[in-house]
Amino acid sequence: MSIERVLHRALAKGGEFAEIFAEDRRQTAAVLDDRRVEDLSSGADRGAGIRVVAGETTGYAYTSDLSERGLLEAAEAASAIASEGKGGTRIVHVGNSNLQGGSIEELLEAAGDLSPRRSSPRDPQGSAMRMLPETVSKADKVNLLLRADDAARSAGGAIAQVTISYADSHRRIVVANSDGLVSGDDQVRTRFIVSCVAIGDSGMQTGYDTAGKTVGFELFNEVDVEDVAGNAARIALAKLDARPAPTGVVPVVIKAGSGGILFHEACGHGLEADHILKNSSVYTNKIGERVASSLVTLVDDGGFGDEWGSYAIDDEGHPAQRNVLIAEGVLTDYMWDFLRARKEGRTSSGNGRRQSYRHLPMVRMTNTFLLNGEDDEEAIIEEIPFGVYVAKLGGGQVDTASGDFVFGMSEAYLIERGKVGGTLRDANLIGNGPEVLQRIDAVAGDFAMTQGTCGKDGQSVPVGCGQPTLRISGITIGGTANA
């Protein structure tokens, strides 16, 4: 196996840059629905993609054959596309999907003295997983589901349905390019999700909770699945007595961790360099300008401990970095992948990510979060005569060009006379990212993170989101009661 030979073949027709991305992924999933195991599966996938750039043309060819022969065939295909010089990007699949020669280990050996690493809060230089999920029996994984199911149902007789899912993945990657970069990473993620349905006089109400980190099965040494299930059930049961959410502009307090998705969607995507270079972001050409309250310092950090979006290197082989995007309200930088950064005479910020070897990398967020402030979380609420306390945000959508967004509130409570009161029915937060950032008038010091999956241009990647408890002086609630 010769990585140099593959890269040489990729550049043979005049390309100016070539890259090999190889991946070996193993995963397990288990789903318990109404105490029946509906899914208990495991799978493996491996392959490589070769990218060749010539001017404004990018050729990308992927294959499931990791042998030198398979990589050379993909390199030839990518080189041929790039040499056409028609501009744009074209992706092709080459080889026979039933042929799976070669291995990640052979690529590592060919790369020389390279030890794939993972990010860790205890050892920033990387460390081995303590409990690889593939070494844990399926019976032990199913036992987690059964324990959580018991805990959820014991929360109250109104719990009518419980769905619990477990998932893990072990992903090893190797990246090499014609600039001389050779790097690798070993990423393990484990996640647990509980969803409950309660039925009462007000109809069906749902609640959910999750736990997940970039760690192995040792996640469950620190996460109690009974607590996760109990919290999901509590939310569903509380909604049975929920009142309609107010309608109109009111102050909103967002609980620590739960509102990180707001920053991910409302401004994070608009700070990704592809949107900036296409002039499709409200933040284009605003470096150095005040775009938020002075209480807002926004960071994207792919090496942030064991959080859900963490890794040692991105999918272009560049180290994860801590990137300050907004500092005390002033826009300081955007997030960059390698090729866009090189075109602009910059360096990569470690944000080049892809769903798998079948996909080209693009600039993506990792762990995006608001830093701690100095306000007291209780005082933030006590100062509000009437408003809404959001304990958990659901899904949402944003228009990066305008900054307009809509988010669901999946757990929220009314604030009256400085006290958190009754549960509110699900409703929407409606606003504009830049305007909301300016209206943040209090930030506490109780920082927390949560995990999610980010979709963009047909690709999904794991991301972390976080923030301390904060207050927005006014934002539109799309409820059904009068404010």
List beta partners, residue 392: 411
pLDDT at 384: 97
CA–CA gap between residue 263 and residue 284 (Å, rounded): 17
Place of tokens 């026979």: 96
C-alpha span between 393 and 408 (Å, rounded): 6
The total of other beta-carbon atoms located within 10 Å of residue 275's CB is: 21
pLDDT of res. 1:
63
Cβ neighbours for 113, distance < 8 A, ≥ 6 positions apart: none
CATH number for the domain whose boundaries are 3-239: 3.30.2290.10
Domain residue limits, the chain = 3-239, 246-482
Give the pLDDT of residue 97.
Answer: 61
Residue 98 pLDDT: 63
Report the pLDDT value the prediction gives residue 403, as an integer from 0 to 100.
85
Q: Please, which residues have CB within 8 angstroms of residue 55's CB and are 6 or more apart in sequence?
A: 16, 85, 87
pLDDT given for residue 121 in this prediction: 33
Which residue in 248, 454, 227 sits closest to 353, CA to CA? Answer: 454
CA angle, residues 403, 409, 411, in degrees to nearest 5: 150
Chain Cα centroid distance, residue 339: 22
Distance CA 72, CA 7 (A): 8
Task: List, edge to edge, every strand of the sheet that includes 322-327.
Answer: 330-331, 322-327, 298-301, 367-370, 459-467, 448-456
Query: To which residue do tokens 């307090």 refer?
Result: 253
Q: Enter the tokens of residue 475.
A: 């934002």
pLDDT (tens place) for every residue of the chain, 483 residues total: 689 999 999 999 999 999 999 999 999 999 999 889 988 999 999 999 999 999 999 999 999 999 999 999 999 999 999 999 888 999 999 987 666 678 887 887 777 644 444 433 333 334 445 789 989 999 999 999 999 999 999 999 999 999 999 999 999 999 999 999 999 999 999 999 999 999 998 789 999 999 999 999 999 999 999 999 999 999 999 999 999 999 999 999 999 998 888 888 888 899 999 999 999 999 999 999 999 999 999 999 999 999 999 999 999 999 999 999 999 999 999 999 999 999 899 999 999 999 999 999 999 999 999 999 999 999 999 999 999 999 998 877 888 888 898 988 999 999 999 999 999 998 999 999 899 999 999 999 999 999 999 999 999 999 999 999 999 999 999 866 555
E-strand spans in 264-403? 298-301, 322-327, 330-331, 352-353, 362-363, 367-370, 386-398
